[in-house]
Amino acid sequence: MTNNMFFIANWKMFGDIKSVNSIKKVINFSKNKKYKKAQIIYCPPYTLISKLLRLVKNSKIKIGAQNCHYSQTPGPFTGSINTDLIKSCGAKYVIIGHSENRALGDTNNIINLKIKSALKKKLKVIFCIGETLKEKRKKKTNLILSSQIKYGLKNIKKNNNIIFAYEPVWSIGTGIIPKINNLEKQVSDIKKMINKVWKLKKPRIIYGGSVNSNNITELKKISSIKGFLVGGASQNSKNFIDIIKKTIN
């Protein structure tokens, strides 16, 4: 990966033909040399991956999946998609460990298997970590994050194809973001945790959790953050472009 700033659109369970066509505005915007450092990645529902890939074919925008199954081979997993199927579609990235999937049963062990599967298929991983409000109030944030990193990366050799996305669970969809000085300290702590496991001094860490065009000016002050994982605000092309503009300018 390069030293680009990452802007990752997690559409979650959203999207139809009209919304897909709306990203043409983002495609045109991405051609502006002023914003060449912006690496834009769309992670739509599985059903839209092929459609988006056709649209972004002649641009630098990349496409990813929102999750994957840990099995590397076909099997009796109704409704699941593995990394081989994601790769065959043409996607380059996959989000793993998102709190919404952890809440549905993704343990650190399952996440570890998913990351291994993704890396084996040469997919780039967006590895989500984050603490709940209850864990935060009990001052267990670093304990939780350290465990997620340690066991999520178990038996995985140092790899530059992983982006670490810090998403405090209590911030996702609430409109509440951490205080900037607290977030800066947390990112520093996360770096130390990753370095302890991998001896990787400059991991790529991005932030997610209620990112929008109103708070991005504050969030971008943290120079150690190398991009943003954007949920609801990425579903509107104008809002997503505003986030990128305000970050790069």
Catalytic residues: 98, 167
- Of 104, 105, 127, 118, give the one whose Cα is nearest residue 68: 118
What residues does 96 pair with on adjacent strands? 127
Q: What's the N-to-C CA distance of the chain in angstroms?
A: 22
Distance of CA 49 to the CA centre of its chain: 16
Contact call for residues 64 and 30 (beta carbons, < 8 A): no
Torsion of Cα atoms, 206 then 136 then 181 then 247, to 10°: 30
Query: Could you give the CA distance from residue 51 to residue 138 in angstroms, rounded to a whole number?
Result: 45
**Residues 6 or more apart from 236 whose CB is under 8 A from it?**
22
Residue carrying structure tokens 């951490």: 178
Distances (CA, A) of 91 to 57, 61, 123: 11, 11, 8
- Of 76, 75, 135, give the one whose Cα is nearest residue 102: 135
